[in-house]
Every structure is written in structure tokens, then in C-alpha cells.
Structure 1
């Protein structure tokens, strides 16, 4: 596969400033694979550096912080094995807001031939690992608090596992997708947590076996905590990186609940999650395509603006090259 010596990449030059620049194309080192990217998902965690915090140092390296890339193998570094030029892959990397990125061979997953269109594997794998860590079983009564991308994909996987899911969200468009993905009940939440708890438990027939918090806010964590039955599980899947949280330890203690951090940091397990998600998509059991809104790489800033504003019907941005 021929490739140019340079590439385009988005550079986060400062808060709310993404520049498209031409830089040298990376070369794969020992055990690494160069991937010609087709695209990269935009993660909610990308919003924080884009918005700006005092602890960040700008500019970011070209392509950072894109970590949900997919594309085709362009070259193998010395000693890299298991892939061939042209293989379509998802990769665990950190600079995929660009036309090329590199990753160790053991951080790539081959995308099945049956999977067409965007495949932000890292994000889909996260949902598969949330399900795994949730230990959801057939017949479990599950509440999902927050119906964004992670929540909706996890919801679908939970339904496939045989759970009865109640989805809670402030957004009606998100609840419509939750119903499409198999939610047994949906509930539009408001400002009164106690009222939301009363309505959710009425729909579910009581407190829930497993509650997945997939928002990343104090209010969502409080609501999710209140929905867990005695001896049940609270699964924290939301991205809580904007400050400390408080918890109702008295409630957690009294009900004897298990609290599960569903964020996975082991690359081997992250790959396993991507494999699981790819299989579900290839087999037609999971269709994430309605959740994507595509933006060209040159409009990376607009993609992040959409992620922040979340207009009606929007779930997840993907950048395409």
C-alpha cells in the first residue's frame, strides 16, 4: 500500500482551538503497526482538554487525544506479526485524529468482513466490558441512568444477555433509541430525584438488581444509587473527571450494595471487549450505526461542539478521513 511521507492531523492548539495541519507521517517501530485511518470516534472524555483546564499543556501532539481509531494496515514494523497490509482493524492508540496512527500489534483488533461503516472499536469495547463487569444475568432487572452512546450500546448488550432494562434519560430522542434497542420501559427524568425514583420503581416493579450509571455527574450517581435494591449492584460507567463526588454512604451501607467501577485499563481486556463488540455487530445483534454523526477531519472542532451541545437526535460524533 503506497503512502505519502506526510499526513493531515488535527492539533489541539489551545482551549476550543483545533487546527488541521500537515505533519510527518509516523513510522512503525519494532512490534508496531502503521494504520491508514478511516476515522476516529470522538469520546466524551475529549471534551475536557478541548474545553480547557489549567493542568493541560498546549499544543497537544498531532492527532491527540483521539483514541477510538479504525482503518487499514499500511505497514508493519520490525517483528510485528499477525496482520497484513490492507487488513481492516480497530486500534488502541492515542493520536487518531489524523490520517495515520501507530500502535503495538497486540493493541489491534481485526474487524470482521461483515462489519461495514464506522467502527470506533475502543468505545464499543468499553460497553462490552461494562456489561462484563456488571455480571448481568438473564432475568435481572436493570436500570440504565443515561442514554448516551456508552449507555445505549450497554443497554443493547444487556438486553441480549436476557435482562429487563428500564432506561432513564432527560432526552426524549435518547429514550426513543433506548426503546429501539430493546428497553422494556423508558422514563424521562426531571429535577425531582425522589419523583424519578418513585416512577422508575413503579415501572420496574421495585428497586433494581443492577443499576448502571452512564452519565458521569453527581446527580446521575445519586439517582442511580437510590435505585439499587438491597444486595444489588451499582455499576459506575460514567466518566467522573470534573471534580470530587459525594456518596450516600448510609444508603450504600444499609442496603449492602456492591459498587463496581466499570472502567477498564488493561489493554488485553480492552481488546477482548472490542472482539466481543465486533462479534455482536458482525452477527447483526448490535447495530450502532444510528448513533453516529459523521464529520470530516477538517471539522473536528464542529464535532466537539456537537458533543458539548448535544442537539436533538445527536449521540456520538465520528471523524472521517
Structure 2
């Protein structure tokens, strides 16, 4: 058998995380689609920041993972369909919300995939984070003329800068990495502020807004300090949007501040599959209209055998990094 499966193959390569910071590549049987499911011959999978805590091996994490586990940003071509699948066919190129995409093939419910237009052929399309960005943008209720601070400029933050700036908002981008701030500037941010000193950032934002602070603040880091900072930057009756993935323990919040300012606080993480898929549909529309341009933000690519390096790169975020992809030939 060749290194990677060819059409008609019965086995595939899949990553198995065996412990904190450790993985192996196994050869396993191809998954078979059940009723209302499709199998996707994957072209690639995005590396999500939510993988990093499991990769570090917290107490609640169980090893080894299932083959392909943790990967949930896959895209590729349907090569098999189960019974009673109506609207999808073999050969359709799709974005998938399957959960075993660190492998050559994955199986997903037919309602958890979205067909991609032919204009995107040959282009990487990690649909889950693109749909996530669209859903966060929608929940933020951005309109032209607002001042919007985005705290944390990774892949998600950069997408949100694009969406907010192209909607006519005045965007303040805040990040600890200089290269991320330059990305934000290119994406349309009106102001960039290094995330260095808490009170200095607040004073800078006050100066930029005549002390009014921001109509909307989107926290896109997932750590305690950025959450505290985001609340401080939100004006009275403004909207604080939680987009960072908080999974490393409980958080404390300044409820006195939230109450005193009358903040609207939105947890912008969706759990409804239908809304996730609608977000991907909205991302396709936004790309076609020019409101979103994700491809320059896909900065690093790795083969499956170097998934550990991809995860470590996503963790360490070297200069110029925004998004890692694992790609399959």
C-alpha cells in the first residue's frame, strides 16, 4: 500500500494523541458512513486554538485520542454516502463539521457539511472557524460609525477586523505581537495598540474615543487578563462580546463594573449545528462580496506527520503566524 490511500483503499493514516505533547500516526480502517452520513476524503484541516489545552494534557483529558480526534476544521471531497442522504453526492467538495479530521478521511452527518462553490476549487477552506467568525460578527451587531475594539489578533481576530472595518466601524486592534498588529492594520484597523500595560491601554483608548470608550469590544483571546481588559474598554450600555475560548479553568468577572455600566454581555460561541452551518454559508457569501478574505491569513501548512509541530506552532505563535493547516496530498 502506498503512503496515502488511493481510491478504493480500505485503510488510512490518522493521528492519535498518546499523551501531553505526543502523538503517533496509525494506519486504521476507513470509517464507513451510516444512515444520513457522508464520508469525506479530506484535503486538509485547520488547527484550532481549542486543541491546545487538550494537547497540553490537563487532568480531564483522556489519552489516547480516537484516530483523527481533535480535528474539526476539515474540508474535502465526498467519496461515499450512507443510506437516505438526499442533497449530497459523491464528488461534492464540502466544508465539514466532523470531529476526526486529523486523518485522511472523516465521516459527518449530512447536515454537518456545506457544499463549496466551484470558484473555491483548489483553495483551503477551514469552514468551522470561518463560520464561527461570521456568527460572532452577527452577534456583535456591528454597524457603520461604531468604535469597536478587538482584543487578541490571531486568525479569528483578524477575520473580525476585516468584517468590522468593511462594515464601516472604526476598529481598534489590540495584540501582544507586533506582526499581528501589522496584519490588523492591513485588514483595516484604524488604530493598533500593543497589549503590554493594562492601564496604559485603557488610557490610549480613552484618548482615541474622547473618554467615551468603545461601543463594542470583542475579546478573542480566552484568558483572564484580556477578559478584564475588554470589560474596562466597553462604554456604558455597550456590548462586550466573548469570542475567546475559555477552557483552562473558571473565570472571575468584575460584576460591579458590568452592572454599573449596564453592559450587554454576549457569549458568542454557538452550539447549534444549524447555526454553525449557516455561519459557513454566510462566510461564503462574505468572501464573494469582498467583506472577507481569509486566504492571506492561512500562514503555515504542515503534513499530517508533522501535526505535533503544527500544534506547537499554534501554541508558540512565532512572528508572522496566524493560522496553521494540516494538508493532505
Indicate yes or no: 2:194 matched with 1:188.
yes
User: In the alignment, is the contact (CA less than 8 A) between 1:214 and 1:238 conserved in 2?
Assistant: yes
Bigger CA drift: 127-136 or 194-203?
Answer: 194-203
State the match for 1:19 in structure 2: 24
Counterpart CA distance in 2 for 1:264 and 1:3 is 37
Equivalent of 1:298 in 290, 294, 305: 305
Query: Which of these residues, 195, 204, 209, is aligned with residue 215 of structure 2?
Result: 209
User: In the alignment, what sits opposite 1:32?
Assistant: 37
Give the deviation of 1:75 after TM superposition.
Answer: 1.0
What's the RMSD between the two structures over aligned residues? 1.2
| CA positional deviation for 1:203 | 2.4
Taking the aligned partners of 1:10 and 1:234, their CA distance within structure 2 comes to 38
Does structure 2 retain, via aligned residues, the 8 Å contact 1:158–1:165? yes
Mapped partners of 1:121, 1:105: distance in 2: 15
2:235 maps to 229
Partners in 2 of 1:228 and 1:64 — Cα distance? 38
Moved more, 1-10 or 23-32: 1-10
> Normalized against structure 1, the TM-score is what?
0.97
Residues 126-145 of structure 1 aligned to structure 2 (within 5 Å)? 126-145=132-151
Matched, 1:170 2:176: yes
**Following TM superposition, by how much is the alpha carbon of 1:108 offset from its aligned partner in structure 2, in angstroms?**
0.6
User: Alignment partner of 1:114: what SS?
Assistant: helix
For 2:159 and 2:32, the matched residues in 1 are separated by 34
2:3 aligns with: none
Give the whole-Å Cα distance in 1 for the aligned partners of 2:125 and 2:287: 10
Counterparts of 1:1-321 in structure 2 under 5 Å? 2-115=7-120, 116-190=122-196, 192-205=197-210, 206-292=212-298, 293-321=300-328
Residue 117 of structure 1: CA displacement?
Answer: 1.6
Give 1:204 shift.
3.6
Q: 5+ unaligned residues in a row in structure 1: which ranges?
A: none
Q: Quote how far apart the aligned CAs of 1:290 are.
A: 2.0
Task: Answer yes or no: is the 8 Å Cα contact 1:112–1:282 preserved in 2.
Answer: no
TM-score (norm 2): 0.95
Structure 2: stretches of 5+ with no match in the other structure: 1-5
Q: For 1:233-274, what per-residue CA distance to the aligned partner results, in whole angstroms no more than 9, with x for missing partners?
A: 000000111111111111111110100001000000000001
Q: Deviation at 1:189?
A: 1.8
Which whole-Å CA distance do the structure 1 matches of 2:94 and 2:8 have between them? 17
Partners of 2:177 and 2:209 lie apart in 1 by 20
Contact 1:112/1:279 (CA < 8 Å) preserved in 2?
Answer: no
User: Residues of 2 paired with 1:309 and 1:104: CA distance?
Assistant: 34
